[in-house]
């Protein structure tokens, strides 16, 4: 055999080894018989990387799924991994880690706390990336590619969700009869159908941003003890060494630095409103919507305060090194801020966001 021939063979082998979905560790703990059923069911419902299937797909979605898998292989796999477990070759160098899709838990949603995201939420992440993290913006990919790769992300997510339910069922009942598997498949889909209809809208119309609303927000920030995690000046857990525990994927998750000018969940007032009102799935950031039910404007006031914090550095406010918890809350901005509407960027110049996404 020629050198080129044997090289091609090796590369070919490598490639086909890479192109298998990997089972979660929990599957390996089951009785061999049950492991076999789980593998068979997952293969039947979700296919393989080369012949993927999307649980609950329309024929139209199924048709573009292979294309989605190809877009994913080129643009996402190095971080999110072949199986969507967030464990691609680049992942070990990244903080925060790329999302492990298999739990079905997503952070930046427009749905109530604990819910699945809407399709629009995932598309927004793909279009805009996650500012301040390594998650890039893909808005330059053709629309068709973005739709297809989103379907493929859903295929990986549903596969992971079904795997988790199959393992739980196998552990508790010791068997996995077909009717039961059908029910579990339906349960996976139900959560997404429900989420699609559960968009959280602001409970009141956003009042105009004024010095008073910012000052009111600053006060609530202290009263409601946001500082216990975010630090007195909002600079977050890293600056102040404040530990708030792990995220759902088992990693330390310091509270966001609200002064960085690079809010991960989006820079629009409605984005910030939703983070405060609905919390952030899979992280220690709680949902405050219910506790402000009698005073919905309070969430807007907090939003205005967070916006003003996010603009501090741009205005040239200097922060001392280290310790944030000891520093007192910043006086609200002295200049009168611009007045964005809910769905428009709060600042004319989102340039730092673009940089961070690179
Ligand atoms: C350079 C690494 C990298 C690449 C490439 C990458 N991502 Fe990500 N992605 C991340 C990181 C890191 C996060 C987690 C951000 C966080 O937790 O705040 C993430 C999060 C996500 C999320 C979850 C958002 C949420 O609400 O929880 C989705 C969906 C996603 N990425 C889709 C994609 C798709 C689709 C592609 C390819 C078209 C892709 N990513 C490519 C690093 C990457
Ligand atoms: C128990 C700790 C904790 C408390 C209390 C808390 N947060 Fe958070 N918050 C977090 C963590 C952790 C994150 C980062 C989550 C992530 O993206 O991984 C966060 C993120 C946020 C974000 C999103 C930032 C971004 O980058 O998009 C906002 C806004 C926010 N918090 C506002 C508040 C406000 C306002 C309060 C009080 C009403 C509050 N938080 C109370 C832990 C907390």
> What is the structure's pLDDT at 216?
98
As to burial, measured by CB atoms within 10 angstroms (0-12 exposed, 13-18 middle, 19+ buried), residue 35 is middle
For domain 211-357, the CATH architecture is Orthogonal Bundle (1.10)
- Decide whether any atom of ligand 2 lies within 6 Å of the 224 Cβ: yes
Q: How many CB atoms lie within 10 A of CB 263?
A: 23
- Test site for ligand 2: of 256, 290, 309, most ligand atoms within 8 A of the Cβ: 256
How far is the C-alpha of 321 from the C-alpha of 298, rounded, in Å?
Answer: 31
- 137 alpha-carbon distance from chain centroid: 14
- Distance in Å, CA 98 to ligand 1 centroid: 5
- Distance in Å, CA 96 to ligand 1 centroid: 10
- Distance in Å, CA 193 to ligand 1 centroid: 23
3-class secondary-structure state, position 47? strand
More confident residue, 238 or 167: 167
Q: Whose CA is nearest to atom 7 of ligand 1?
A: 135
Q: Whose CA is nearest to atom 40 of ligand 1?
A: 76
On whether the CB atoms of residues 160 and 105 are closer than 8 A, the answer is no
Q: What share of the chain has pLDDT > 70, as a percent?
A: 84
Residue 117's H or E segment, with its range, is none
Q: What is the DSSP letter of 92?
A: G
> What is the structure's pLDDT at 63?
86
**pLDDT, mean of residues 196-219:** 96
Distances (CA, A) of 262 to 176, 185, 258: 47, 38, 8
- Distance in Å, CA 285 to ligand 2 centroid: 5
Residues 6+ apart with CB under 8 A from 260: 132, 236, 310, 313
Q: Return the ligand 2 atom nearest residue 220 CA.
A: 38
Comparing 195-204, 230-239, 272-281, 294-303, the range with the smallest average pLDDT is 230-239
Closest by CA position to 197, among listed 118, 315, 303, 307: 118
Residues 6+ apart with CB under 8 A from 241: 323, 325
Residue 283 has pLDDT above 90, yes or no: yes
3-class secondary-structure state, position 250? coil
> What is the structure's pLDDT at 326?
36
pLDDT band of residue 9 (cuts 50, 70, 90) is: very low
Examine residue 96 and say whether the peptide bond preceding it is cis (omega within 30 degrees of 0). Answer: yes
**pLDDT, mean of residues 191-205:** 95
- Distance in Å, CA 155 to ligand 1 centroid: 15
- Decide whether any atom of ligand 2 lies within 6 Å of the 55 Cβ: no
Q: What is the DSSP string of 198-224?
A: -PPPPSSPPPPP-HHHHHHHHHHHHHT
- Test site for ligand 2: of 219, 257, 280, most ligand atoms within 8 A of the Cβ: 280
The answer to pTM > 0.75 is yes
**pLDDT, mean of residues 130-142:** 97
- Decide whether any atom of ligand 2 lies within 6 Å of the 192 Cβ: no
Distances (CA, A) of 9 to 70, 73, 103, 115, 277: 21, 20, 36, 46, 55
The full set of domain ranges for the chain reads: 25-196, 211-357
As to burial, measured by CB atoms within 10 angstroms (0-12 exposed, 13-18 middle, 19+ buried), residue 215 is middle
For 26-67, write each residue's pLDDT tens digit.
Answer: 999 999 999 999 999 999 999 999 999 999 998 888 889 999
Q: How many CB atoms lie within 10 A of CB 117?
A: 23
How far is the C-alpha of 172 from the C-alpha of 174, rounded, in Å?
Answer: 6
Residue 166 has pLDDT above 60, yes or no: yes
Residue found under tokens 């609530």 = 220
How far is the C-alpha of 350 from the C-alpha of 339, rounded, in Å?
Answer: 15
Comparing 78-87, 91-100, 121-130, 338-347, the range with the smallest average pLDDT is 338-347
């Amino acid at each position: 055999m020629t050198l080129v021939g044997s090289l091609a063979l090796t590369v070919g082998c490598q490639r086909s080894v890479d192109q298998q979905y990997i089972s979660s560790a929990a599957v390996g703990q089951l009785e061999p018989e049950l492991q076999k059923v789980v593998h068979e069911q997952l293969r039947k419902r979700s296919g393989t990387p080369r012949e993927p299937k999307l649980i609950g797909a329309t024929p139209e979605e199924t048709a573009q799924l292979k294309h989605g898998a190809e877009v994913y292989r080129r643009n996402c796999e190095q971080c999110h991994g072949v199986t969507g477990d967030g464990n691609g070759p680049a992942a070990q160098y990244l903080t925060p880690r790329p999302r492990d899709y298999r739990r079905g838990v997503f952070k930046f949603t427009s749905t109530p706390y604990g819910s699945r995201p809407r399709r629009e939420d995932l598309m927004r992440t793909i279009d805009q990336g996650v500012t301040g993290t390594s998650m890039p913006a893909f808005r330059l990919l053709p629309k068709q590619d973005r739709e297809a790769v989103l379907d493929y992300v859903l295929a990986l997510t549903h596969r992971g969700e079904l795997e988790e339910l199959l393992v739980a069922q196998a552990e508790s009942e010791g068997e996995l009869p077909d009717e039961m598997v059908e029910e579990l498949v339906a349960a996976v889909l139900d959560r997404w159908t429900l989420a699609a209809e559960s968009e959280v809208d602001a409970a009141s119309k956003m009042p105009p941003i004024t010095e008073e609303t910012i000052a009111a927000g600053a006060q609530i920030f202290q009263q409601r003890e946001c500082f216990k995690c975010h630090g007195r000046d909002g600079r977050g857990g890293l600056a102040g060494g404040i530990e708030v525990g792990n995220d759902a994927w088992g990693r330390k998750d310091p509270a966001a630095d609200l002064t960085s000018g690079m809010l991960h969940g989006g820079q629009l007032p409605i984005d910030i409103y939703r983070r405060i009102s609905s919390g952030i799935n899979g992280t220690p950031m709680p949902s405050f919507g219910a506790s402000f039910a009698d005073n919905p404007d309070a969430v807007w006031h907090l939003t205005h305060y967070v916006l003003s914090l996010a603009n501090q550095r741009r205005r040239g406010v200097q922060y001392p090194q280290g310790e944030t918890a000891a520093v007192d809350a910043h006086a609200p901005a002295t200049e009168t801020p611009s007045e964005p509407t809910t769905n428009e960027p709060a600042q004319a110049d989102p340039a730092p966001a673009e940089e961070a996404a690179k």
